[in-house]
């Protein structure tokens, strides 16, 4: 579990948009987050949220799923596909806690899920996880992967915080990630040989989430770009991104194996 003090530190100064039609729920979430220094902006429905996003920048969005005028699913779809805001994390806030409802949120383009009533500790931990990753990508992922001053291919501190400095868990999940990544890259290579652009994008989607969870932020961003290129059937761009993914994965693999040989 993510360290609570670390979570609060990540949220201090962050700018979050709360999209929630219930004023009591809106006030509760805002009060919890403002108490640790988070900057809060509120919207009562999806249309208000879109108006805000057209003119303001946020680090994360908390999205109620059931709202009048424009619900959370439709709003998320608009954010991802019309506004083209692919990197901003969207965390669903809902009264329904079933696995089916969680899957509906993820399919709509949301990144994570929280049920009501809000648990402050869990709220801090879930939001901090995405705030930390998103801020890293905003600051670094616009740089070309072959730039001489490129950042480290993987943020080891993310692994330490996610697994609460449990070295055994870090090793287990690192090795599993390397295994999954190799398998996925082989699938991407085969799809490229067959000129199957859609499958290349699907494999990018498969790898981006696990790369993000491991702190391989730029690799995750490249996979996200491959997914978009696949959806657009852009063969030339998909090929270019593939070359970058393979090179950056090589750097991630080297860094992880180097870490696994040391005590941490």
Query: Does residue 139 register a pLDDT over 60?
Result: no
Q: What band does 161 get if pLDDT is binned at 50, 70 and 90? A: low
Q: Which residue's structure tokens are 């692919």?
A: 86
Class in CATH terms, 4-140: alpha beta
20-43 CB burial, b ≥16 within 10 A, e <16 = bbeeebbebbbebbeebebebebb
- pLDDT tens digits, residue range 13-33? 999 999 998 888 898 899 999
CA 247 to chain centre: 22
What is the CATH code of the structural domain delimited by 156-260?
Answer: 1.20.120.160
Position 75 scores a pLDDT of 95
Task: Please give the mean pLDDT across all residues of the chain.
Answer: 84
**DSSP 8-state class, residue 12:** T
Q: CA torsion sign, 168 to 172 to 178 to 181?
A: negative
Q: What band does 123 get if pLDDT is binned at 50, 70 and 90? A: very high
Distances (CA, A) of 112 to 59, 125, 209: 14, 12, 11
What stretch(es) of the chain map to CATH 1.20.120.160?
A: 156-260
């Amino acid at each position: 579990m993510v360290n609570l003090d670390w979570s609060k530190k990540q949220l201090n100064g962050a700018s979050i948009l709360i999209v929630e039609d219930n004023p009591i729920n809106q006030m509760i979430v805002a009060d919890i987050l403002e108490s640790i220094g988070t900057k809060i902006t509120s919207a009562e429905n999806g249309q208000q949220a879109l108006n805000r996003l057209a003119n303001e920048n946020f680090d994360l969005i908390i999205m109620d799923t059931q709202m009048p005028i424009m619900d959370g699913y439709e709003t998320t779809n608009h954010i991802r596909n019309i506004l083209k805001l692919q990197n901003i994390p969207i965390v669903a806030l809902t009264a329904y806690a079933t696995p089916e409802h969680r899957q509906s949120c993820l399919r709509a383009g949301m990144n994570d899920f929280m049920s009501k009533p809000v648990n402050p500790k869990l709220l801090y931990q879930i939001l901090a996880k995405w705030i930390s990753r998103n801020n890293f990508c905003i600051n670094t992922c616009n740089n070309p992967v072959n730039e001489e001053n490129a950042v480290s291919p993987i943020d080891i501190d993310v692994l330490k915080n996610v697994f609460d400095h449990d070295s055994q868990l870090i090793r287990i999940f690192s090795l599993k990630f390397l295994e999954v990544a190799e398998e996925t890259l082989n699938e991407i290579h085969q799809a490229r040989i067959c000129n199957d652009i859609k499958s290349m994008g699907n494999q990018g989607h498969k790898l981006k989430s696990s790369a993000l969870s491991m702190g391989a932020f730029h690799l995750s961003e490249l996979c996200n770009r491959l997914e978009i290129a696949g959806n657009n059937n852009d063969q030339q761009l998909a090929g270019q991104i593939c070359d970058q993914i393979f090179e950056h994965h090589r750097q991630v693999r080297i860094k992880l194996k180097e870490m696994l040989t040391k005590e941490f």
